[in-house]
Amino acid sequence: MYPNNPAPMQTPPPDYSIDYLNQISGTNNGRSAGPSNFVMLVAGVIGLGAIILFAMMMFSGGPSAADKATNVYLRLQTLESLATDNQKALRNNDLRSLNSGLGLQFTNALSDMSDSLTALKIDTKKISKTAQADEDAYKAALQTEFDDAKLNVQLDSVYTREMTYQIATLRTMMQSVTKASSNKTLSSFVSSTDEKLAPFEDNFSGFSAN
């Protein structure tokens, strides 16, 4: 007797051996075996997760309502300053009168916005240096454009065209704030200010077309 010898291997039944060979060869009736249901399920879950993550980034990204409101506040300051600084250089009497009213509207809007800023917990004395620097650079570029136009005796036409665009842009910025926040105080401010700015945009556009 040879007790240490292993038992002889048993030959599997014919039908079992065929399935066994198909599995280890990776074929099934001559075709490559496809991925298992488990692998496909995992891939589907990963794909769905990626789609959800992308959607969240698309719809939740971007500046907050507070950031947008701060930008509106800074832009109001910029436009109020430009309207005041260029008032005397305008040549057309009607344009000067219109611009004076616009500057007053910007001043009133800044005052009216204080409650909205408070509601969004914005301290105008603590605005980020980056946001302030960006707006200062924007203002400087506009004033340079006006200074060049004044040297070429074209300030009236350049100013009316630029202010038409600036008012339209400001109105769009304000609407963007209300879409980012459901605050009633803010919505009321935007609605009221937009209604008051609309005629100025139309009037400056009329001057620009002449």
Per the structure, how many domains does the chain have?
Answer: 2
Instruction: Collect all residues with Cβ–Cβ distance below 8 Å to 105 and sequence separation of at least 6.
Output: 196, 197, 200
Asked whether residue 48 falls in the same domain as residue 144, the answer is no
Chain segment 66-101, per-residue pLDDT in tens: 899 999 999 999 999 999 999 999 999 999 999 999
pLDDT score recorded for residue 144: 97
Per-residue pLDDT at 25 exceeds 70: no
Of residues 91 and 24, more confidence is placed in: 91
Of residues 55 and 181, more confidence is placed in: 181
Asked whether residue 46 falls in the same domain as residue 113, the answer is no
Asked if the structure places residue 17 within a domain, the reply is no
Asked whether residue 120 falls in the same domain as residue 45, the answer is no
Chain segment 141-199, per-residue pLDDT in tens: 999 999 999 999 999 999 999 999 999 999 999 999 988 888 888 999 999 999 999 99
Mean pLDDT of the chain: 81
Asked whether residue 117 falls in the same domain as residue 181, the answer is yes
Of residues 107 and 55, more confidence is placed in: 107
Asked if the structure places residue 16 within a domain, the reply is no
pLDDT score recorded for residue 207: 82
pLDDT score recorded for residue 134: 95
The last residue of a domain, from among 43, 62, 81: 62
Q: What is the CATH number of the domain that holds 106?
A: 1.20.1260
Q: Per the confidence metrics, is the pTM higher than 0.75? A: no
pLDDT score recorded for residue 210: 65
Asked whether residue 46 falls in the same domain as residue 139, the answer is no
Asked if the structure places residue 23 within a domain, the reply is no
